[in-house]
Amino acid sequence: MSYILGYIVADGCICKRKGRKNSYVLNITSKDKESLLKMGKHISPDCSLSIKYNSQKIPYYQIYFCNRKICEDLMNLGIFPRKTYNLNPIKVPERYFSDFVRGFFDGDGSVYIYKVNKVLQIKANFPSTSLSFITDLNQHLSKSLDILLKTIHQVKEKKGNIPLYYIDFYIDDCEKLAEFMYQNNPTLYLPRKRQIFEKWKSTERRHYIKQNYPSKIGWQLNQAVFA
């Protein structure tokens, strides 16, 4: 359930139902139909699946829960309507924190392998529109992974000109992040993202010297909020 909570922080929303007092609906969206259905079954059998397409005609799947108790529980945990503008740090028991991080990563995070000067690198990141949330996540991950605090960068989303904050992980720290997220041999995760970490493990690459800066290229193009 901590995984699902993390995923809802990323790709879920609670909406107030029009014309109904204290009535809410939970919506969770994903491109991965099977993973979404698996999450839905863990929450409640009383959910419906729908499909929509973005401007590039890519299908997205959605599940809905018209369950007052579920929505009230989420609001008690800090998930409110219009969470883009009012998300605060989510308190998760330490023993479930890795599951929460994995859920949030599967919803909004990214990971990919690329080359710098013909040397293979791996990068993962976490974005959020909430500075307080990403700051708290950064501090907890620094402690859990035993790494230095990441620099928090800021960009502007094209839609609505909303500030977007994010933290990046490279190479060694990326490996620690993967080990942390999948340490309990979980059943809930996105295979396509985990496979990138697994591919990196088996990748042969020449010897490199890790540098003490946040990115190999491009980081200076973004505004650093603080380190």
Q: What pLDDT was estimated at residue 161? A: 74
Q: What pLDDT was estimated at residue 219? A: 41
pLDDT digits (tens, 9 = 90+) for 152-200: 999 876 566 788 999 999 999 999 999 999 998 898 999 999 999 999 9
Residue 216 backbone phi and psi in degrees, to 5: -75, -40
What is the C-alpha to C-alpha distance for residues 207 and 210, in angstroms, rounded to an integer? 10
Q: What is the pTM of this model?
A: 0.84
Question: How far from each other are the two terminal CA atoms of the chain, in whole angstroms?
Answer: 31
Domain positions in the chain are 2-79, 106-226
Indicate the length of the chain as a whole number.
Answer: 227
Q: What pLDDT was estimated at residue 160? A: 65
Burial of 58: CB neighbours in 10 Å, binned 0-12, 13-18, 19+: exposed
The CATH code of domain 106-226 reads 3.10.28.10
Cα-only R_g, the chain: 18
Q: What pLDDT was estimated at residue 195? A: 95
Q: What pLDDT was estimated at residue 227? A: 38
Give me the helix-helix angle, 2-11 and 97-108, nearest 10°: 30
Q: What pLDDT was estimated at residue 52? A: 84
Q: What pLDDT was estimated at residue 226? A: 42
- H helices, E strands: number in the chain: 8, 9
Check if 2-79 and 106-226 are the same fold.
yes
H/E segment holding residue 170: strand 163-170
Q: What pLDDT was estimated at residue 208? A: 52
Nearest to residue 16, comparing CAs of 70, 71, 90, 74?
71
pLDDT in tens, the chain (227 residues): 999 999 999 988 888 877 666 678 888 888 888 888 888 888 887 777 888 887 788 888 888 888 888 888 998 998 888 888 888 999 999 999 999 999 999 999 999 999 888 888 999 999 999 999 999 999 999 999 999 999 999 987 656 678 899 999 999 999 999 999 999 889 899 999 999 999 998 886 655 554 544 444 444 444 444 43
Q: What pLDDT was estimated at residue 191? A: 92
Cα torsion 167, 158, 74, 2 to 10°: value is: -30
One-letter amino acid identity for 90? I
Q: What pLDDT was estimated at residue 222? A: 45
Nearest to residue 106, comparing CAs of 195, 176, 44, 173?
195
The CATH code of domain 2-79 reads 3.10.28.10
What is the C-alpha to C-alpha distance for residues 12 and 18, in angstroms, rounded to an integer? 19
